[in-house]
Amino acid sequence: DGAGAHTHLELLRIGRDGRALYANKAGQALMGAINAPDRQGLNAHWSELIKQSFQSGSPVETEETIGDRIYLCVFVAVAHADYANLFTRDITQRKEAELRVRQLSRAIEQNPASVIITDIKGRIEYVNPKFCQVTGYAAEEAIGRNPNILKSGELPKEAYQAMWKAIANGQTWTGEFHNRKKNGELFWELASINPVRDASGKITHYVAVKEDITGRKLAEAEREKLISDLKKALAEVKTLSGLLPICAGCKKTHAV
């Protein structure tokens, strides 16, 4: 029993009738928490787990919540014909981390921009639904391949070399790509690519967030064309206006 008092897990020894026969220091604090008036349902549920363990003769493991902030992993194992040991481990940090991951996953899945995650060699490990919608590639077609499946050949190789040099050095790279969809259609994207580091600071992945700016680029091209056409028209008007007095003089002389 003395060894149980030093375990990093909360330990309770529960008899067949559901009464606590022993609790280490952490287990005593836990008993105080689960015996609060609003925790009776939880206490009853643990009694049911102990009953199941006695009936089956096998350990039972589950996860429980106390209040809205404490998550526990509960493990029950029969240690004697008259009692079972109940261990719990606080997994609040792990559960909260899982929640943050789920929230981030939902945000990426629903993001209006294309998101691509690659390993350090450039192999695609994840694409979100927007990527599939924009490019025409299904996720299973893209994963395992290199983002250069979108390469159109319209940009010089120096541009790609500069990008890889920046992100390999841990820098964020922002720029435009003129890419090609699965069906061959060309489109423009504004991309921001960021390196992802592990706890030791080593780069493990790259994340690219890309916005389809084809409409904007077409509008810019139309604007540039309009400006060019206006400049040509103005030049022609100036030329004509310079010729008009001479022509009028010629006409007057001819009339005489």
Rounded Cα distance, 119 and 108, in Å: 18
Number of residues that this document lists for the chain: 256
Rounded Cα distance, 135 and 214, in Å: 12
Q: Model-level pTM? A: 0.63
Letter for the amino acid at 219? A
> Does residue 234 carry a pLDDT above 90?
no
98-127 tens-digit pLDDT = 888 888 889 999 999 999 999 999 999 999
Do 115 and 209 touch, CB atoms closer than 8 A?
A: yes
Helix (H, G, I), strand (E, B) or coil at 127: strand
Class of residue 100 by CB neighbours under 10 A (exposed 0-12, middle 13-18, buried 19+): exposed
Do 51 and 80 touch, CB atoms closer than 8 A?
A: no
Instruction: Please report, in angstroms and rounded to a whole number, the separation of the first and last CA atoms in the chain.
Output: 133
Q: In which band, very low, low, confident or very high, does the pLDDT at 256 lie, cut at 50, 70 and 90?
A: very low
What per-residue confidence (pLDDT) applies to 118? 96
Do 13 and 24 touch, CB atoms closer than 8 A?
A: no
Contacts of 143 (CB under 8 A, 6+ apart): 124, 125, 126, 127
> Does residue 236 carry a pLDDT above 80?
no
Do 103 and 191 touch, CB atoms closer than 8 A?
A: no
> Does residue 79 carry a pLDDT above 60?
yes
Do 117 and 205 touch, CB atoms closer than 8 A?
A: yes
Letter for the amino acid at 35? N
Residue 195 zone, left/alpha/beta (φ > 0; ψ -120 to 50; rest): beta
181-219 tens-digit pLDDT = 999 999 999 999 999 999 899 999 999 999 999 988 888
Of the candidates 174, 187, 209, 177, the one whose C-alpha atom is nearest the C-alpha of residue 135 is 187
Do 197 and 120 touch, CB atoms closer than 8 A?
A: no
Which H or E run contains 150?
A: none
Percent of the chain topping pLDDT 90:
38
Beta strands in 24-82 (DSSP E): 60-66, 70-80
